[in-house]
């Protein structure tokens, strides 16, 4: 009876979250989304450079804690993922999922620590979804960028201005690249300088390939040079970086697949033993010592997965 009630509560919470996500991510209110984009707090104007950002060698704990703003980071991640909803709404979804996960963990495992761990896992699901959408959107933007640079180069060589070249890009490309450059044009129409609008786009799409374009436009506006030649060279550089990224993914594919198999193997073996002969797995699920062993094994397996993932991450 308790299991049925818990399942019903969890299903109701899940359906409520689906309805909220469907409602808040609708694209019908396009004008409202554009106005919210342009009215986002910009802060002080910062210079954009092409150097890789590095952390200072020495800093105090309190200064680092003061700069650590979870809500601001969540808001920026949502903007980069293309989710134009309030941070309070996302925090409400996280809290509801955390409560549901903690309730299920307490009912099934009868342990406060495991209940908290389960609640954190359920609460992290919206963050994982935002990161997934952000990664997919960034990859789609970078895949479109070389072709957009070629189109801008052709427009500049034909004698058009940079704004006209951006209009052609907006007309020919779909989201996410077309939407981001459309925002840049809308900001320039209300009086924002083009280099400043591009800097703001770089905050929404923090990619090194786009940083090169922003720096080139800023230098050209201050010094003056052949922008068509620079944009053409940037297209070649972006394509070279993309080829290097694909080569790295191909070279590390075997190791990444091996890490996934090693991480999933204990779960698969335990599931097979449970189906073949339940007596093998009963000690792990019902005996107190077996439950502790299962918890330790799950934690070590998760840590091993994170370590393999970190070892295979390459920055270039």
Closest C-alpha to 133, from 103, 176, 181: 176
Q: Going by C-beta distance under 8 Å and a sequence separation of 6 or more, which residues neighbour residue 160?
A: 168
Sorted by where each begins, the domain ranges of the chain are 1-38+70-123, 141-245, 252-316
Closest C-alpha to 130, from 187, 168, 100, 90: 90
Separation between Cα atoms, residue 203 and residue 210, nearest integer Å:
10
Terminal CA-CA length for the chain: 56
The segments of the chain whose pLDDT lies below 70 read 1-68, 109, 111, 224, 314-316
> Is the entire prediction scored with pTM above 0.85?
no
* Tokens found for residue 95: 């809290």
How high is the pLDDT of residue 6?
A: 52
How high is the pLDDT of residue 272?
A: 86
Separation between Cα atoms, residue 172 and residue 159, nearest integer Å:
19
Contact 45, 215 (CB under 8 A): no
* Tokens found for residue 145: 């960028």
* Structural fold of domain 141-245: Receptor-associated Protein (1.20.81)
């Amino acid at each position: 009876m308790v299991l049925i009630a818990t399942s019903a509560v969890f299903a109701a919470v899940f359906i409520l979250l689906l309805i909220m996500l469907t409602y808040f991510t609708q694209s019908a209110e396009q004008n409202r989304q554009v106005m919210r984009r342009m009215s986002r707090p910009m802060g002080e104007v910062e210079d954009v450079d092409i150097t890789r950002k590095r952390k200072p060698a020495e800093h105090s704990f309190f200064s680092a804690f003061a700069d650590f703003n979870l809500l601001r980071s969540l808001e920026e991640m949502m903007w980069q993922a293309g989710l134009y909803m309030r941070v309070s709404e996302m925090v409400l979804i996280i809290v509801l999922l955390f409560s549901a996960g903690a309730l299920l963990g307490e009912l099934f495992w009868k342990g406060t620590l495991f209940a908290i761990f389960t609640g954190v896992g359920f609460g992290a699901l919206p963050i994982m979804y935002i990161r997934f959408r952000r990664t997919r959107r960034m990859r789609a933007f970078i895949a479109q960028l070389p072709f957009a640079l070629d189109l801008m180069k052709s427009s500049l060589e034909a004698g058009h201005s940079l704004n006209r070249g951006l209009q052609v890009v907006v007309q020919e490309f779909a989201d996410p690249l077309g939407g981001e450059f459309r925002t840049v044009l809308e900001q320039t129409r209300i009086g924002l300088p083009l280099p400043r609008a591009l800097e703001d786009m770089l905050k929404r799409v923090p990619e090194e390939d786009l940083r090169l374009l922003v720096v080139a436009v800023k230098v050209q506006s201050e010094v003056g040079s052949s922008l068509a030649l620079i944009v053409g060279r940037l297209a070649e550089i972006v394509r070279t970086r993309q080829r290097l990224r694909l080569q790295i993914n191909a070279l590390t594919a075997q190791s990444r697949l091996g890490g996934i198999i090693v991480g999933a193997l204990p779960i698969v073996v335990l599931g097979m033993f449970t189906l073949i002969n339940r007596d093998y797995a009963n000690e792990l699920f019902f005996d107190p010592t077996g439950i502790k062993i299962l918890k330790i094994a799950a934690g070590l397996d998760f840590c091993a997965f994170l370590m393999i993932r970190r070892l295979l991450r390459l920055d270039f």
